[in-house]
Amino acid sequence: MTGNAIPTVRLPGGETIPRLGQGTWRMAEKPSLRKAESEALRAGIDLGMTLIDTAEMYGDGAAEQLVAEAIRVRRDEVFLVSKVLPQNSSRAGTIAACERSLKRLGTDRIDLYLLHWRGMPALEDTLAAFTALVGAGKIRHWGVSNFDIDDMEELAGIPGGDAVATNQVLYNLTRRGIEYDLLPWSRRRHLPVMAYSPIEQGRMLNHTALAAIAGKHGATQAQVALAWLLRQDDIIVIPKASSRQHVEENRAALDLVLTADDLAALDRAFPPPTKRRPLEML
């Protein structure tokens, strides 16, 4: 079905991880869909999309349990990402939240543990907890999510803050604000960005410009949206798909090479930012 291997990106610590993974928000909310969702995640792993993104927030822990089910006999194949909620992100709260996530995930370690978004607890405290969790082998890397440039600057100013492995943010054709400042800021520091909601939760899939390019390549609109992100070699992309068909389609987006004309047409339909905008989040 697809000729290309999954491309990888290097984390600041040197480890390489796949640039196309799988999201899990809104999974495990309906018992009738659970089997298909678990199968979809496993199909994605079979296809090399071994980075799985989840969070304690998703389904109030149920998404982590679904991931546990999907990876039970193949934990070592997977690069597991989970997140602590801001309200739990005090020093002791982060450690306790991580322990709960590990239990639900049925594993002894999370590969990348993110602060889901900024909260009241001091960043220093969350960072101290992350560092302690790395020391205890309970997480392998840590990072942040929904951090705008001022948050990243603040983090960079804290001792140890430069160990951040990624910033997971909203980024897709309809949400290009980070291209103005946050993305260049991250690139200067060789910090990979993880793009969430890469197809805008499906809302962008009725666009004439996307349809035209998809038609030209015999691809789908979702594939064009994903290929547009994947062409940038420091972006990690984590579409959520709850059917094997969507997973296979998303994997095959790696085979779609957009031409300069396609990219120009996409820039006309979804213009890049010309001034700073606050980071958007979903």
Nearer of residues 11 and 51 to ligand NAP, judged by Cβ: 51
Q: Give me the sign of the Cα torsion angle 64, 70, 72, 75.
A: negative
Q: Which of 58, 113, 171, 196 is catalytic?
A: 58
Nearer of residues 95 and 237 to ligand NAP, judged by Cβ: 237
Nearer of residues 90 and 145 to ligand NAP, judged by Cβ: 145
User: Nearest distance from residue 221's CB to ligand NAP, in Å?
Assistant: 8
Annotation marks residue 180 as catalytic: no
Residues with Cβ within 8 Å of residue 32, at least 6 apart in sequence: none
User: Nearest distance from residue 223's CB to ligand NAP, in Å?
Assistant: 7
Residues with Cβ within 8 Å of residue 76, at least 6 apart in sequence: none
CB 115 within 8 A of CB 164: no
* Binding residues for ligand NAP (CB under 6 A): 23-25, 53, 116, 145-146, 168, 196-202, 205, 220, 222, 238-243, 246, 249-250, 281-282
Nearer of residues 48 and 159 to ligand NAP, judged by Cβ: 48
User: Nearest distance from residue 48's CB to ligand NAP, in Å?
Assistant: 16
Residue nearest to ligand NAP (CB): 23
Nearer of residues 137 and 218 to ligand NAP, judged by Cβ: 218
User: Nearest distance from residue 49's CB to ligand NAP, in Å?
Assistant: 12
Nearer of residues 80 and 238 to ligand NAP, judged by Cβ: 238
User: Nearest distance from residue 127's CB to ligand NAP, in Å?
Assistant: 18
User: Nearest distance from residue 51's CB to ligand NAP, in Å?
Assistant: 10
Burial of 214 (0-12, 13-18, 19+ CB in 10 A): buried
User: What CA–CA distance (Å, rounded) separates 161 from 164?
Assistant: 6
Could you give the residue numbers annotated as active site? 58
